Amino acid sequence: MSNAIFDFLAHSLLFDQSLISTNYQGESDQRLELELEKYRKHCLDELDNISVEINRHSGNLSCVGSYEMASLSSLKRAALYVEQMVLPDPIFPYTRPENSKMQALSEYLGVGSDSQKIDRVGLAEAVKDVISKRDLVVGGYLKFYPISLLTETPAQIPISYSSDGYTTQVPAPLLQLFRDRSETFTAETNASGLIVRDRLEPCRNIFVRFKGARAGTGYVYNLMTQEVIGFDEETRVARLIMGIPEAPPSQAHFDQWVSESINRSAGEHFRGLTKEFSLAHKLSSVYACSSKLDSQLLRSSMTERDKGIPENAIECILRMKLPYMDKIRSADLMRLRNNDGEAFQNFRTDLEARFRDLRYEKDPEVIRRKIIDVEHEMSEVQVRAISTKIKSVRKAALADFGLAVGGLAAGFATSGMSLLGTLTAALHGAKTYAEYREKVRDNPCYFLFEAQRQKYVKPMGSHKRPRAPVSAAGGKITRLSASTAALRDGE
């Protein structure tokens, strides 16, 4: 979502604070659906402009982040290095048009029609999330993009078949990685939705997920019987009757179905990751995620060549704890980045140099210790050294200022304005600034020092007496969603 789309939301009932606080209670489904439809149309109309706006930063470091990168904590840490962050628009998934065929199938499977209505609580949380990041958008750092558009359920429900059990949808080494991390559970339907049990036994509904994947993600499958009751040779259209018997399948049939479902889930997950990675390339950006599974997939020998210096630096800084970053107001962080660009660039260059060698390190413990050492060196040693040097420079500046004022006073006493006194003042002033530049601001960690200092600076209006502004230079599934792409397995 670019600033243009943010402007649209600013005048939308979706941004009405009184409605957000009550999860849009009192608004009809029809009106909310109409507003979401307008928002979707606006996003799609602006899609090319959003891409151009993002690509405008192609000369700088731009990063497409996955859903796991959306926390303010991750965004603030990434802001120490990344020039631009592109995140999935959290509101856009709620604009997906209703799929009447999926709705009919869901109702047949026992998932009530109530589950198809707008998730008002989820929508309100998504809007709150966007509002909480307003300062990052205004600061030019954050852009939102409708990434969920890449994986929306097609209007037609596909019926798939594979003679090899869907084993070729993912390269063999990666498929084994998926299978090693798969978890499958029995699922049951009731009036409120789909309930996932903590066991697996022969049944007709299962839920598949992968350890290390994004929380809340998974895939639902239903084992249905099907009978061909007609086939038109000319149009190649078949008529089928599908249903779900009450009796479970045999153990052998069930085991085969579960194995195929895991393979299909791996294919769905891998295609989704590939689409997001391709989008990052299209937007001239690097791709970053904090999902352990996706990180391992991207680091595998099947998908990675050599890790780039920027990608490596992003990965390392996201592993740094930097607790003081959570206390910095987003607006202050953006002001620091925009008003002290030279210090920001120096800090980024220094980060790359410190972490460059870790690109070829395979031992996770060695990487962890190195990151801890760098964080201590930068956050403690260098920042403390900058603080000490600032104090000494200030003392020197006071001493020089005294001498300069003395020279000017003598000049006034003798001839109104002594040239010697003026030159003395200029000389001492230039000397002090040069020392300040050389020993303080040119330290690569000066930007981190200013970032730490921001947590002690309270915003204007928080005191009865206003302070001078600081210079910036100083387990239950309630609906069948898009991921349930396989509600159509034949027996």
Residue 481 has a pLDDT of 32
Note whether 158 and 28 are same-domain residues. Answer: yes
For 355, residues 6+ apart whose C-beta sits below 8 A from its C-beta are 312, 313, 316, 317, 370, 371, 374
Note whether 413 and 479 are same-domain residues. Answer: no
Q: How many residues does the chain have?
A: 491
Residue 100 has a pLDDT of 62
Determine, yes or no, domain membership for 68. yes
Q: Are 12 and 35 in contact (CB under 8 A)?
A: yes
Determine, yes or no, domain membership for 444. yes
Note whether 290 and 406 are same-domain residues. Answer: no
Residue 449 has a pLDDT of 65
Note whether 391 and 267 are same-domain residues. Answer: no
Per-residue pLDDT of the chain (491 residues; tens, 9 = 90+): 456 678 788 889 999 999 999 999 888 989 999 999 999 999 999 999 889 888 886 556 888 988 877 888 888 888 878 889 999 999 999 998 876 666 666 666 666 555 447 889 999 999 999 999 999 998 989 999 999 998 887 766 677 778 899 999 898 889 999 999 999 999 987 766 778 999 999 999 999 999 999 888 899 998 888 888 888 888 888 888 888 888 999 999 999 999 999 999 999 999 998 888 889 888 988 888 778 898 888 877 555 555 667 777 777 767 777 666 777 788 877 887 787 767 767 777 777 777 777 777 777 788 888 877 777 666 655 555 555 555 554 555 444 444 444 333 333 333 333 444 444 444 444 445 455 555 556 665 666 666 666 655 555 444 444 444 433 333 433 333 333 333 334 44
Determine, yes or no, domain membership for 149. yes
Q: What is the pTM of this model?
A: 0.69
Overall domain count for the chain: 2
Return d(Cα 49, Cα 38) in angstroms, integer: 17
Q: Are 13 and 27 in contact (CB under 8 A)?
A: yes
Determine, yes or no, domain membership for 316. no
Q: Which domain holds residue 84?
A: 1-306+475-491
Note whether 83 and 205 are same-domain residues. Answer: yes
Determine, yes or no, domain membership for 368. yes
Note whether 490 and 435 are same-domain residues. Answer: no
Helix (H, G, I), strand (E, B) or coil at 141: coil
Distances (CA, A) of 39 to 33, 85, 155: 10, 22, 20
Note whether 485 and 421 are same-domain residues. Answer: no
Return d(Cα 270, Cα 487) in angstroms, integer: 19
Determine, yes or no, domain membership for 327. no
Phi-psi region of 416 (alpha: psi -120 to 50; beta: other; left: phi over 0): left
Note whether 431 and 479 are same-domain residues. Answer: no
Q: By C-alpha distance, which of 182, 194, 189, 197 is closest to 258?
A: 182
Note whether 298 and 263 are same-domain residues. Answer: yes
Note whether 67 and 155 are same-domain residues. Answer: yes
Determine, yes or no, domain membership for 409. yes
Determine, yes or no, domain membership for 88. yes
Note whether 179 and 73 are same-domain residues. Answer: yes
Note whether 300 and 419 are same-domain residues. Answer: no
